[in-house]
Amino acid sequence: MGIFGGSKNDDPTPLDGIDVVLADLDGVVYQGPAQIPHAVESLTRVVDSGRRVGYITNNASRSDAVVAEHLSSFGLTVDPADVVTSPQAAMRLMQDLVPAGSLLLVVGGEGLVTEVERHGYRVTTSAADGPAAVVQGFYPEIGWKQLAEAAFALTRDAAGGGIPWVATNTDWTIPVAGGIAPGNGTLVSAVHTAVGILPVVAGKPETPIFDEAVHRFGASSPLFIGDRLDTDILGARRAGMASVHVLTGIDRNKQLIAADAKMRPTFIVDDLRQLFEPYPLPKVKREVTQVGSARVALRGNRVEIDAAGDRPVDLLRAACAVIWGSGKPIYALDVPEALYKR
């Protein structure tokens, strides 16, 4: 499948040939306390079509049961087993690093502690207890003392030896009701600065969390839906999955147009209703690329809009097709401001 869903059929939908849909949460299903318009009814429709839906989250502060309850409050039918969390992926990694029953220094909240104990490990918050490994995940109440304990536990001996360190994720930011706030990546970076080593990472954009989802749902042809290029789309591509970028969250036109080749989604949609719509494939004639009724051309180093078309999303799709296909970095192109607006 190509960047824009290449298929033997004309204008397939993003769901063609898909057996499992995996959805990110923040920016895809909800934003803060509010559900994102059209997300719930669209995901319900996916289930009604006979496909399984799983939910993947890097947020380590809540357990799968709490996340399932939250999603169910919106009207979705979700069991805890339908939720794949970064702490779950972290524990799969930990099983290869330390023996079962080991004492782990946990920097994190309920969601992480629940998974640590569920997998048979013991929990401490003090480096003085001699933990076998450190596992770190986001929790709003984490402060200097918890980060310092992690640093103390991870200090290397004279021979450079030390204990394993697993981070649930390294998201630099997290969307909350008040706006965009620092995420787990900033807290991991603080510990890294103190100890000079890097953790093994379980969550997006690393593949363990995707591997856990594929294994759990028995997916043979999954489709991942996300709103961030540097975690969701990059991770899906690393895991070999087709991906949908939905324009309801963090990254919008500007980021998509300038996206590195490793972060380019298979599909771009305004909202999740477009999962069921035929996806217009780019049609190229000479230097002009047409998607729907939008037409964009590359003339020299100038990206030009020949026709804005009926739908802004088609103009964005055409612009991405032109820019991504040019083989040139975004800074080498003269791109009209209208293509960045969203």
CA distance 129 to 105: 9
- Set 10, 16, 19, 24: catalytic member: 24
* Longest CA pairwise span in the chain (Å): 69
Domain membership flag for residue 15 = no
Question: Which residues, at least 6 apart from 136, have a Cβ–Cβ distance to it below 8 Å?
Answer: 106, 107, 108, 150, 165, 166, 167, 168, 184, 187, 188, 191, 199
What tens-digit pLDDT sequence spans the chain (342 residues)?
444 444 444 789 999 999 999 999 989 999 878 899 999 999 999 999 999 999 999 989 889 999 999 999 999 999 999 999 999 999 999 999 999 999 999 999 999 999 999 999 999 999 999 999 999 999 999 999 999 999 999 999 888 899 999 999 998 888 777 888 899 999 999 999 999 999 999 999 999 999 999 999 999 999 999 999 999 999 999 999 999 999 999 999 999 999 999 999 999 999 999 999 999 999 999 899 999 999 999 999 999 999 999 999 999 999 999 999 999 999 999 999 999 876
The domain that holds 245 is classified in CATH as 3.40.50.1000
Domain membership flag for residue 49 = yes
- Set 11, 26, 48, 96: catalytic member: 26
Determine contact, residues 295/307, Cβ cutoff 8 Å. Answer: yes
Q: Does the annotation count 211 as an active-site position?
A: no
Do residue 186 and residue 92 come from a single domain? yes
Q: What is the pTM of this model?
A: 0.90
Domain membership flag for residue 11 = no
Residue ending a domain, among 201, 218, 249, is: 201
Q: Does the annotation count 24 as an active-site position?
A: yes
Do residue 222 and residue 118 come from a single domain? no
Residue ending a domain, among 226, 246, 276, is: 276
Host domain of residue 46: 20-58+205-276
Q: What is the tally of structural domains in the chain?
A: 3
Do residue 197 and residue 97 come from a single domain? yes
Query: Average model confidence (pLDDT) for the chain?
Result: 94
